[in-house]
Structures are given as structure tokens and as C-alpha cells.
Chains A and B, each alone.
Chain A
Amino acid sequence: MTDNWGFVVVFGLIALSIPILAMIMAWLFRPHRPGPIKQSTYECGLETTGETWIQFRVQYYLYALVFVLFDVETVFLYPWAVAYNQLPLFALFEMFLFLAILALGLVYAWRKGALEWS
């Protein structure tokens, strides 16, 4: 392999050990006095009312959705960008077409209110 992924693995393990080490140190040093008030769910200092269910807000899902599609679009953009210096000028217009099709999608989402918060 020309890419050195071995370092990534080793470094990843080192990175993972940091929070674990911190947790262990904290566990050794901190007091432990649990109580029913302390451990109840926090809600501005009041008792929890009602079931813990949140209102279904489709906006969060729509943002994630539009994001997935644009993310896939950027995945197509990367190889094109890297090869750009070896491509003829025509390749730029081919990409314009690609981006235009997706910009159309953005415009549709905008007009249909998928990008609104309310």
C-alpha cells in the first residue's frame, strides 16, 4: 500500500485511550453519593410532566435528507476535481449539467418549504 493507514490505526487506538484514561482517573478521584433528587431527569428544576415523548417534527428529517443527497453529490465532485487538470474544458460543462440538475432539486426543496424551520 502506498498510503500509510497503519499509523491511522495506531493513532486511533491512542485517541480512544484518552477518554478511557480520563474516565478511569475521574472514577478514582471523585465522590460517590447518589440520591433520588440528584438522579431524576433535569427539566429546568421542575419535576418531569408527562411521558418523555417529543413532538414529531419532520423538519429535522428533511434537513438530514437533503444533506444525504448533497453529500452524495459532493462524492461525485471529488474525483472530478482531482482529475480536473487532466480534463478538457468540456468536462467543466459536463459538471455544470450535473450541478444544474442538483441545483434544480435544491430549488424544488426551497419552493416546497422543505428548508424552512417552522
Chain B
Amino acid sequence: MNPQDGLSPPAATALRAALDQALARVLPEQLAGPTADVLWWALLGTLILAVIQVSMLYATWLERKAVGRIQNRLGANRVGKFGLLQPIADMVKMLTKEDITPSGAHRWVYNLAPILVVPPAILVFAVIPVGAGLVATDLSVGFLFFIAVSSTVVIPIVMAGWGSRNKYALIGAMRAVAQIVSYEIPQVLSVIGVLLMAGTLSTQGIISSQGVAVPPYGSFPGVWFVLVQPVAFVIFMLATVAEIERSPFDMPEAESEIIAGYHTEYSGIKFGMFYLSLYFLTIAAACLGTILFLGGWQAPLAALSFIPGWVWFSGKTLLLVLFFMWLRGTLPRLRVDQMMGFCWKILVPLALANLMVAGLVGKLAKQADASPLFTLAGFTLANLVLVAVAVWLLVAWRSRVGGPAVGLRPPTVAEGAA
């Protein structure tokens, strides 16, 4: 939040002014400015942290309830009314569990891994805007910052796998990393189509381009990107689910498959850190989906814009989080070969095709100076053609191969076996 840009809420501006004055009285001229800055940032950072921490705790509660309901049971409901104190109980449990360190583990690497897996998941929230002036720091490379920081989480995972000195942890770590890393490509490629039209990497700018303009950004195409590029939205959602290792892409940590993957040898709070990081990333991914495709904090209709931006943003993010939980509760887990095949052989070519189509139609729409409605019509047509061609190709591939298009073929039964 920059008090000078005129978009921050009045309370924040007043608070900042009070802070500046208080420090100007106590410190000499040169120090007062920077100190005020640092203190303001620390305050902002703590506030963001508090909000996402509470959100994350109740996301875990929501998950247990939602998945429980999908599976026709009640979910956690013992601790507190409706199980609302369950996350607190879980936290207490993790803090008081004995820490069992395997004897051969590399002390530094093993212990640093759970510490280093959390900061990237928190840091990405620095560029998430929840309102017109409500973004911690509107970096001109905001989106890229998000992707780069979230991609660094693979290093602590590798450290955990190697540092545990456990075959299964190591294999689990490598599988997890191969999965995370592979799905980054379709995720990014699908978003480039969105960036083409937004013309900026700034998160606030991307939101601005989907509706009412927020200076200094423009407002082309003026409609939410989910309407203009639904294919990209679907690819992005699927790739993101795989990135954050949620079911149906949670092979690396499936309990029945490989014990617990890369965090096999971690107990108590150290395991808790991996769990924490996963949930932060889930919320962050939902926030990113909202920003890129659902118009961020902007209301769908001008008439509804009296409802504050952060309400819209939270609502849309909640919707996406529920969608993730829905996928978890309903779809069976993919095998690792199916998962990788799906990424590289289906999602990446589809994302490339979508990118080219989006580029072509977007450029034509911009040059013809089309109205939002006309742009929407043009894109809908182009997307229908794209989806039709993709489905046709997939069906043709499947019939040629005589079975599932990706993944290992099931063994064929010999003819005439008794």
C-alpha cells in the first residue's frame, strides 16, 4: 500500500501519517523516513501474515468438512462447535509431538528443509491485491515474482528427501519435484495468453485490464479472462492443482504408495511446516486464479460495486478453494505415468495452441478497436474451434492407440485364454 497513490483506505493513510510524525519527532531527518518505511512494511507484513494464517487454519477445517460431506459423512465436529476449534487442536498436537530424527540424517540439511519450505509460500502474498489500493507491493513484475518464488519451493523438498537418508524419501522427493516442475510449463503457457491482452506483469494491472481501469493501467479487453479464454482457465486450474500436489495429483505423498514421500522422516512440527506450506500455496494459487481469470477484486457488474473489493476477492478465492476441495473429494488419484503424460503430451500442446489462438484473436480485436462484447464473441468462437479440434484429435489418438491416450497400456489378455 502506497499512501501517495490516493487509492489506499483513509484509515491506512491516516495511520501512516501519524507514524511519520511520531518518528520525525524522535529521530533525525535522514533516519526518520527509512525507519518509518520499514516499520510500516513490518506492520503490513504482520497483518498479511495474520490474515493468511487464520485463512489457512480455517481452510484446513473447511477441507475436512467439505471432503467429509462429499464422502457422505460429517467431517471433524468434536472439538468446539462444528469442529471449529479443530485446527487449534491440530496445532497444539504438532507442537507437542516428540521430534524423532533418524540417526543418519544430515543434521543441517535435514533441519533446514522444513524451515525453508515455508517462506516462499508466505512471500508470494506480497503481490496479491485485495482491493483498489490494497496490495502490499505492486511490483511491475508481480506475476513473475509469484511464479519465481513459488518455484523455489522445490529446493527444500529435495533437501528433505536427501537429508532424511531414506530411499523412499529420496524417491518421493524426486517424484514430487518432477511433478511440480513439469506442471509449471502448462501453467505459465496458459497465463501468457492472458498477459498478452493485459499488457503488463503487474497483478494490479491484470485486474485492471479485466474491468474498470485502475491508473496507471488500462482496461483492455474489459471482460474477465475466464470468459475470453476458458481453455486457458481450465489448463491453469489443472496445472495448479498438480503444482500444489493436491489430489488427484498427490502421488508423491500418497500414504499407501510411498509411505509419506519426502516427509516420511519428519514428525511433529517439522511435518507441520510442510503441511503449512502446502495450505498457504493452495490459498495463494486460488488467489492467483482469481486475479488472472476472475477479475480479482472487481465486481462483475458496475451496479454491484458498492460491495467492497475485498469481499469480492475473498468470495471468488473461496470459490476456487472449494473447487480444489471438490476435485480432491471426487476424483481418483492419477498414476504417476498418467500424470506426467497428461502434462507433457496433452496440456503443453493445448496451452501452446491456445496461446497462438489468443494472440491472433487478441491482436485482431485490438486493431479493430472492438467493443468488449465483440471481443467476447470473437474469442468464444475461436475457443469453440480450438476445443473442437482438440477433442477430435484426442478421440482420434485414442482410437488409433486402442486405449487410454497417455500412460502405460494395461496388459492385454491373450486370446482364447481359458
Residues of chain A touching chain B, judged by Cβ–Cβ distance below 8 Å, are 2-8, 10-12, 14-16, 18-20, 22-23, 25-27, 29-34, 36, 38-44, 52, 54, 59-60, 63-64, 66-67, 70-71, 74, 77-78, 81-86, 89, 92, 95-96, 99, 103, 106, 109-110, 115-118
Chain A residues in 8 Å Cβ range of B243: none
Contacts A38-B100, A118-B408; is A11 near B344 (CB within 8 Å)? no
| Residue pair A19, B337 in contact (C-beta under 8 Å) | no
Query: Which residues does chain A contribute within 8 Å of B48, judged by CB atoms?
Result: 11
Q: Which 4 residue pairs of A and B lie closest in terms of their CB atoms, listed nearest first?
A: A117-B337, A26-B269, A15-B122, A15-B119
* Chain B interface, number of residues (Cβ within 8 angstroms): 91
Find out whether the CB atom of A4 lies under 8 angstroms from the CB atom of B123: no
Query: Are A7 and B126 closer than 8 Å at their CB atoms?
Result: yes
Contact B165 A85 (CB under 8 A): no
Instruction: Name the CB-closest residue of B to A25.
Output: B95
* Chain B residues, CB < 8 A from A110: 344-345
Is residue B46 within 8 Å, beta carbon to beta carbon, of the partner chain?
Answer: yes
Interface residues of B in 80-135 (CB under 8 A from A): 94-104, 114-119, 122-123, 126
Task: Specify the main secondary structure of chain A where it touches its partner.
Answer: helix
B125 nearest in chain A by CB position: A11
What separation, in Å, do the CA atoms of A11 and B164 have in the docked complex? 30
Q: Kindly list 8 other residue pairs between chains A and B, CB separation below 8 angstroms, not including A19-B114, A84-B195, A89-B364.
A: A3-B140, A22-B273, A25-B95, A26-B269, A30-B269, A40-B102, A52-B166, A85-B220
Candidates A19, A25, A30, A116; contact of B119 at CB < 8 Å:
A19
Does residue B62 face the partner (Cβ distance < 8 Å to A)?
A: no
> Separation in Å of the B51 CB from the closest CB of chain A?
13
Chain B stretch 222-264: residues in CB contact (< 8 A) with chain A: 259, 264
Which residues from chain B contact A60 at a C-beta distance below 8 Å? 174-175, 177-178
In the complex the two chains form, is B168's CB within 8 Å of A84's CB? Answer: no
Are A43 and B167 in contact, with the CB atoms below 8 A? yes
Nearest CB to that of B359 among chain A residues?
A: A92
In the bound complex, residues from chain B placing their C-beta under 8 Å from that of A34 are: 100-101
Contact pick for A43, options B94, B138, B166, B177, CB 8 Å: B166
A115 to nearest B CB, angstroms?
Answer: 5
Contact between B136 and A7, CB atoms less than 8 A apart: yes
Chain B residues whose CB sits within 8 angstroms of the CB of A82 once the complex forms: 195, 199-201
Q: Whose C-beta in chain A lies nearest to the C-beta of B189? A: A74
Which residues of chain B come closer than 8 Å to A74, judged between CB atoms? 185, 188-189, 192
- B265 at interface by CB-CB < 8 Å: yes
Q: Are B118 and A18 in contact (CB under 8 A)?
A: yes
Cα of A84 to Cα of B355 in the assembled complex, Å: 12
Shortest Cβ distance from A113 into chain B, in angstroms? 12
B349 / chain A contacts, CB cutoff of 8 Å: 103, 106
